[in-house]
Structure 1
Amino acid sequence: MLGSQTQTPPKEASSSITDKTKIKARYFMIWRWHFYAGLYVIPFILMLSITGLVMLFDDEIEMITYQDELVVMPEAMTLPVSIQLDKVQTMYPHGTVTQFIPSKAIDRANKFDVRLADGRSVLVTINQYTGDILGEIDRSDSWYQLANDIHGTLLLGQWGDYLIEIAASLSILLIGTGLYLWWPRDHASIAGFLKLRFSNTRLFMRDLHANFAALFSIVLLLFLLSGLAWTSVWGGKLVQAWNTFPVYYTWGDKPESHLTHADLNHGSEKELPWNLEQSVLPESNQHIHGAYTSSETDKGYVATQNNINIDSIVKQARGLGFTQYKLFLPQSEKGVYTLAANSMGGDITDPRLDKTTHIDQYTGDVLVDVTWDDYTVLAKLMAAGISLHQGDVSVFNKALNAVFCLVFVLISLSGMLMWWIRRPSGKTRIGIPPHFESEGLWKAGIAGLFVVAVCFPLASVALVLFGLADWLMFKPRR
């Protein structure tokens, strides 16, 4: 009978249903990626934001903590730096002076870094007008160093660096998936687009999280990329190694040391430019320059050839155009004086004025002089990005970065609260977004994983682990 015949839906309607199913499946797959990445990333974003705030106001914190050790009364004349150095060496007979940091203002003390016999590094402050030793700042016990160590390694060394690199890499995935989920596509998503709804707490948290995260996504991405450039795998192996010296620039016939520029850094502080860290240092060659006198005493290495001492180097620095800088002293008979003024180290605020100069300790000859013009394109972007990342460009830059850190905390906390409010009481206890099967969807997942693996290897490891956990632990409970 005609009335009992089963009617099949039109072909167009069937196709429409299939398309809607695929769109829904894709949406929930991306939501699940976003959810899993967020579970891992949120604690790290909170940590990075809070420690970033501490590091941002390092100078202010240091001044409050060590005011007596840093403030001096300006006078008409300053003592020669060599006399200041002698006084520091006399005060620390068993230490090694590794660095001289001239004051940034006439009412601030000069600093000398001294490596003590127990391996600690302290900044000894001295009144450059009177020669009085004012005190010391333990570099390993400062608020900045603690925040920097947590920020970079979680106090876990290399494994902490790996964990943070995974978090930063997954944060980029979080941004991409979050923007997809935020972008209006139906009535539900349009209702909360660029607005806050106060009808209930869950909607308010959703709108707060989604809109703030989307509006500040580019800022967060820039922070993440500039930070990732310091990490061990993505930064050290995939990016930094191909943008360092001597990729297209060599020292020529100058002897090279087995030490790299990174060996000049004190602890986890980044005092040398990013693109020079993996490059080897040049050497002074005493055999070429003839006779010399030196002492290898418990005070450390001291070179006294041809009157090339710290005073002549400081005078030479002015002639070379250095205003604010760090001076690294030679630590062996083949070592060099290194003058470093760069935005990454906080010496200057304009990365275009970056300058690193190595000087032969016996003749005063400039062995290597690296400036902004020698940087690769990516190295220039890194120098500019890190300067902005650290809030060094201006007071406005620092204030903006403080606001950004607070916004990232807000985004993280709102995401946690949104999850807490919407978590179900049954089925999956942690509130994993629903799973919808769709033909070919696993291919898109594999393709996405492949792209992540190529760009961010450690993040792909985390995604595989998330996938295994999802398959083994949660799927049977649906």
Structure 2
Amino acid sequence: MKRAHPSAHQLKPRNSPAGAYRLLWRWHFYAGVFCLPFVLWLACTGLIYLFKPQIEPLLEQRYAQVAAAPRQLASAQVAAALAAVPGTVLNAYRVPEAPTAAAQVLLGRGSEIVRVYVDPSSLQVLYVVRDNDRFMRVIFYLHGELMLGSAGSMVVELAASWTILLLLTGLYLWWPRGRRIGGVIYPRLRQGGRVFWRDLHAVTAVWVSMLALFLLFSGLPWTKSWGGLLRDARQHWANAHVVQDWTIGSADERAGIAAANTPPDEHATHHGMAGMTATSPGAIDDTALDRILPAVEAEHLATPVLIAPPSLKHAGWTARSDADDRSQRADLSLDPVSGEVTRRIDFAERPWLDRMLGYGVAIHEGVLFPPLNQILSALTALGLITACISAAILWWRRRPSGTLGAPAAHEGARHPTGFIALLVLLGLFLPLLGLSMLTVLVVERLALRRLPAIRRFLGLGTLP
């Protein structure tokens, strides 16, 4: 009687490289099922936002450009804007960047900003729009919050955290275990079929993975959970007295706008304090703004430059550069009586954490070293889109009927110690990721064990 030969899977030890490979492949697969729709969304919206410097001027050229002519006083331009939008107060005046630039007056109403374009010569109101209704602001919120506020920010943060794990496991699966370079350095596009789509997915993702990881990490300060923890840490450890240069979601932004739209003293309009008139609530003292403007222009701040009146956010008149490249920004404190600059804070004087994040945000938005930064980020977004589409095609072609198509794991295979350590570190550094992994573990152990049909569909079984 012949002795039965053990199967190939039975010959593999519990800690075999093949078993570990399939376990990490399963992590990669499940992360991909959750992340791919969000990666596509973030890549597409991010790709559009990258070209804000080119797109926004084209969209606004009808009302943001005027004929060169002698300008009236800045205070008169603000008065024309306030008259066009009753019930608002001055939030900020944008210093004209060119002789043909229309005046832009930002008016506040509660927690919102209304942007008014005024012809500085004739004082004719050219266009009025809620700031959050501008095309690039809509794209910004679609990208960061899915237009769902704090809940959307949490979802994006969770998806970004799992995408980091997705890329790291993908790098492990791609890592060359032989001497071939086809399918590792370059895709074998002529072979067709599964090899074509596999190489298009893996090689493209590898080439963009490093910058993609940077973009994911540099986007975390904007998120509700991780960004909130970072803000608290900044205030506790950095002992920073300088206001941070980024907001944590739209809720935080609205709170800041509401503070900027509120006078520092509810009786300010009766006492004429800090440039506020005694006759018209919310109207600025023209002798203040008109004296301040030449001093601000003499500082040659990076454009655009915004001059803001006193508010709960800042006790006195201020001016700030709102340049896309945050490393060029500076803040001014101003004396409304003399019109002089009393204090200037440049980017180099900010806390080290603010500077590090400022560089990261500038690279994230493609503005730190244009146009190369913009080109590299656009190629990264296109690479991620390509990797997502090719992954979906690979999955669709290989999925068994009636199941999700997850790769089966070897029976008794164990996760490598290094991978477990990586999961722990990522779970601690990215709390939402850690909580979601624990949730998945609990659900699998307590619920899915009793639901064999769902387990089969999800591919939670193992190879014999």
Aligned with 2:80 (options 73, 87, 95): 87
Residue deviations 1:172-200 (CA, integer Å, cap 9, x gap): 1111111100011158x865222322323
Q: Read off the aligned partner of 1:462 and give its amino acid letter.
A: S
Aligned with 2:22 (options 28, 40, 44): 28
C-alpha separation in 2, matches of 1:268 and 1:206:
42
C-alpha separation in 1, matches of 2:39 and 2:99:
39
TM-score (norm 1): 0.78
| 8 Å CA contact 2:222, 2:246 repeated in 1 | no
Report the alpha carbon displacement of residue 322 of structure 1 after superposing the two structures with TM.
Answer: 2.5
C-alpha separation in 2, matches of 1:385 and 1:249:
19
Partner-residue secondary structure (3-state), 1:233? helix
Gap change, CA 1:84 and 1:392, over 3 Å in 2: same
Aligned with 2:192 (options 178, 200, 203): 200
Partner-residue secondary structure (3-state), 1:301? coil
* Aligned residues between the structures: 437
What corresponds to 2:156 in structure 1? 164
Unaligned runs of 5+ in 2: 4-10
What corresponds to 2:6 in structure 1? none
C-alpha separation in 2, matches of 1:201 and 1:334:
62
| 8 Å CA contact 2:309, 2:317 repeated in 1 | yes
Unaligned runs of 5+ in 1: 7-16, 252-259
C-alpha separation in 2, matches of 1:353 and 1:333:
22
What corresponds to 2:105 in structure 1? 112
Residue deviations 1:282-312 (CA, integer Å, cap 9, x gap): x97999xxx7454577x643454xx861122
Aligned with 1:357 (options 325, 332, 342): 332
Q: Read off the aligned partner of 1:54 and give its amino acid letter.
A: I
Matches within 5 A, 1:61-460: 61-75=55-69, 77-116=70-109, 120-186=112-178, 192-197=183-188, 198-237=190-229, 239-243=230-234, 247-250=238-241, 292=272, 294-295=276-277, 300-302=281-283, 304=285, 309-324=288-303, 325-331=305-311, 335-343=315-323, 346=324, 349=325, 351-359=326-334, 369-393=344-368, 394-425=370-401, 429-438=403-412, 440-441=414-415, 447-460=421-434
C-alpha separation in 1, matches of 2:158 and 2:104:
37
Gap change, CA 1:313 and 1:264, over 3 Å in 2: farther
Mapped pair 1:474 → 2:449: no
Report the alpha carbon displacement of residue 70 of structure 1 after superposing the two structures with TM.
Answer: 1.0
Partner-residue secondary structure (3-state), 2:126? strand
Identical residues among aligned pairs (%): 25
Q: Read off the aligned partner of 2:297 and give its amino acid letter.
A: R
Partner-residue secondary structure (3-state), 2:139? helix
C-alpha separation in 2, matches of 1:52 and 1:46:
10
TM-score (norm 2): 0.80
Residue deviations 1:315-352 (CA, integer Å, cap 9, x gap): 22234443521222224697432312144xx2xx3x44
Report the alpha carbon displacement of residue 386 of structure 1 after superposing the two structures with TM.
Answer: 1.6
Report the alpha carbon displacement of residue 440 of structure 1 after superposing the two structures with TM.
Answer: 4.9
What corresponds to 1:52 in structure 2? 46
Gap change, CA 1:376 and 1:263, over 3 Å in 2: closer
| 8 Å CA contact 1:123, 1:138 repeated in 2 | yes
| More displaced 10-residue stretch of structure 1: 166-175 or 141-150 | 141-150
Report the alpha carbon displacement of residue 72 of structure 1 after superposing the two structures with TM.
Answer: 0.8
Gap change, CA 1:265 and 1:179, over 3 Å in 2: closer
| 8 Å CA contact 1:301, 1:331 repeated in 2 | no
Report the alpha carbon displacement of residue 380 of structure 1 after superposing the two structures with TM.
Answer: 1.9
C-alpha separation in 1, matches of 2:265 and 2:345:
20
Report the alpha carbon displacement of residue 444 of structure 1 after superposing the two structures with TM.
Answer: 6.3
C-alpha separation in 2, matches of 1:177 and 1:47:
21
Aligned with 1:40 (options 34, 46, 60): 34
Residue deviations 1:65-112 (CA, integer Å, cap 9, x gap): 33321111113x322211211222222332222111123333221201
